[in-house]
Structure 1
Amino acid sequence: MRLSSMADYAVVTMSAAARHCGSARVSSVQLAEETGLPVPTVQKLVSMLSSAGLLRSVRGAHGGLQLARPAAAISIADIVEAVEGPIALTACVDHGKQDCALECSCSARPHWGAVNEAMRGALAGVPLSRFVGVPAKDVAL
């Protein structure tokens, strides 16, 4: 399993924001410069991360972006879910999904929920603070 580029970029962007000590404010342009990501990509990520309650935007002369809570209280699962939605290795565990020909007779389907929960638990156990000391361009998932 691989994370999407956007999920990876979201972790890189949040890591850069976290390096500003959480309380300092930074702009999307500044985050783009620090990470090497295109400004439109960072702006899109900032919107998604803000909607998920991970970043806070402050307007005004001293405005900018900052973490909505301490980096130690934000998990990699939080960031991935902000961009990708719920962590699921297969779509068949979603209620109402009827797009699998094996759905009625699949012996694996009842077990995917536990696998998805284990994957989410693993990502939830890694705090963003673990990524803070590493330059954004060197962070890879």
Structure 2
Amino acid sequence: MRLSSMADYAVVTMSAAARHCGGSRVSAAELAAETGLPVPTVQKLVSRLTAAGLLRSTRGVGGGLKLARPAAAITLADIIEAVEGPIALTQCVDDARADCGLDACCSVKPHWPIVNEALRGALSQVSLIRLAEVTA
């Protein structure tokens, strides 16, 4: 299992946003400069993260981006789901994607929700505040 580049970049972007202490606002361009990511990529991520309620965007003078809630209340699972959608190791748990030829006779399918919940639970234990810590 591997995160997409966009999910990885979202974690990096949110970590950079969390390091702006005291709720100060930061621009997408500043986040791009701090992270080394291209500005268009950060802008796309900011749009998704804002839509997911993880960032708050304010336009105009004194505007910019800031976390929508405290970093301790945002988890790795929240960030990944903002970019990737619900955490699931297989597509068969999504009723809208019933394209598996084994669906009717699969004995494993009932167990995937348990696995997915365990994975989401583990990712939910990692807070943004922890991800934003700067290590020497």
Same fold flag (TM > 0.5): yes
1:3-58 deviation digits (Å, cap 9, x = unpaired):
11100000000000000015010000000000000000000000000000000011
Identity %: 71
What letter corresponds to residue 102 of structure 1 in structure 2?
A: L
Structure 2 equivalent of residue 108 of structure 1: 108
Give, in whole Å, the separation in 2 of the partners of 1:126 and 1:70: 14
Matched, 1:34 2:34: yes
| Unpaired stretches in structure 2, ≥5 consecutive residues | none
Aligned counterpart, 1:51 = 51
Q: CA deviation at 1:97?
A: 2.2
TM-score (norm 2): 0.96
Quote how far apart the aligned CAs of 1:60 are. 1.9
In structure 1, distance between residues paired with 2:81 and 2:50: 13
Aligned to 2:68: 68
1:25 paired residue number:
25
Aligned to 1:120: 120
Write out per-residue CA displacement over residues 57-105 of structure 1, whole angstroms, 9 at most, x where no aligned residue.
1122111000000000000000000000000000001113221111111
The amino acid of 1:12's aligned partner reads V
What RMSD in Å do the two structures reach over aligned CA positions?
A: 1.3
Larger RCO, structure (CA 8 Å, separation 6 or more): 1
> Deviation at 1:120?
0.5
- Structure 1 ranges of 4+ moved more than 2 A: none
User: Residues of 1 paired with 2:76 and 2:54: CA distance?
Assistant: 11
**Which SS does the other structure have where 1:81 is aligned?**
helix
| TM-score using structure 1 length | 0.93
* Matching residue's letter, 2:99: D
Q: Which runs of 5+ in 1 are unaligned?
A: none
Aligned partner letter, 2:62: H
Partners of 1:18 and 1:129 within 8 A in 2? yes
CA distance in 2, matches of 1:103, 1:55: 38
Residue identity in the other structure for 1:125: Q
